[in-house]
Amino acid sequence: MKYLSILLLFSLFLSCNSTANENNTDQLSPLEKLKAGNENFTSGHLIHPNQTPVRINELKGGQHPFAVIVSCSDSRLSPELIFDQGLGDLFSIRTAGNVIGDLELGSIEYAVEHLHCKLVVVLGHENCGAIQAYAASTEKKHNDHIQNIIDYIADEEEEKNVPDSLKSNIDFLVMANIAHGVNVLKESEPVLKSLVDKNELTIVGAYYDLDNGHVIFK
């Protein structure tokens, strides 16, 4: 039931986005790799790939990660763990609330332009503390830099468009925040938008369920 409601929320906020790498039959696409890794994680059949001295040696000369993961800093959803990946597989950008400013954009552009990642995932999660702080922000102002994160989220059009009746629904607010991240990246000039328009880059949203470890992609 939870899975269906999360998919429904995704359908409200994000349009379908199917692009490159889906027709490769002799190996998994980046998105398929993440889905398979999360299946390993949730089923308890972890492979723990690419975590040996051999892999360290392979990576001495450079890195070729297959996906960029823009996720919340929350300690319960480390990308390499929940997607059963190893060293050199994922290029991670992590901030509380998976908020994306110019510095994060620069990191993403580096991974896409110079490391040739073809997939960017914006990964939010159930009961995100940053979103909960935003939801409570009318009652409490933080006298520190946490307030900057709250102000960023409050300024998102997707959050402003959430109906008043749903502003206490944390899942709904999380989905709006994920949608914002995806929309920001898809419209980002001069790098990401042009690659998306040419079907050379896929940008998707994803939601991590703290109850069972499943990642739901849109």
Please calculate the CA angle 91-75-183 and round it to the nearest 5 degrees.
Answer: 50
Closer of 21 and 177 to Zn ion (Cβ): 177
Query: Cβ of residue 29: shortest distance to Zn ion, in angstroms?
Result: 27
Closer of 75 and 165 to Zn ion (Cβ): 75
Q: What 8-state DSSP symbol labels residue 210?
A: T
Query: Cβ of residue 69: shortest distance to Zn ion, in angstroms?
Result: 14
Query: Cβ of residue 125: shortest distance to Zn ion, in angstroms?
Result: 6
Dist CA 204 CA 217 (whole Å)? 7
User: Which residues here bind Zn ion, judged by CB under 5 A?
Assistant: 72, 74, 128
What interhelical angle do 2-13 and 170-186 show, nearest 10?
40
In which residue are the tokens 């994680």 written?
41
Dist CA 208 CA 77 (whole Å)? 7
Closer of 125 and 186 to Zn ion (Cβ): 125
Query: Cβ of residue 121: shortest distance to Zn ion, in angstroms?
Result: 15
Closer of 74 and 171 to Zn ion (Cβ): 74
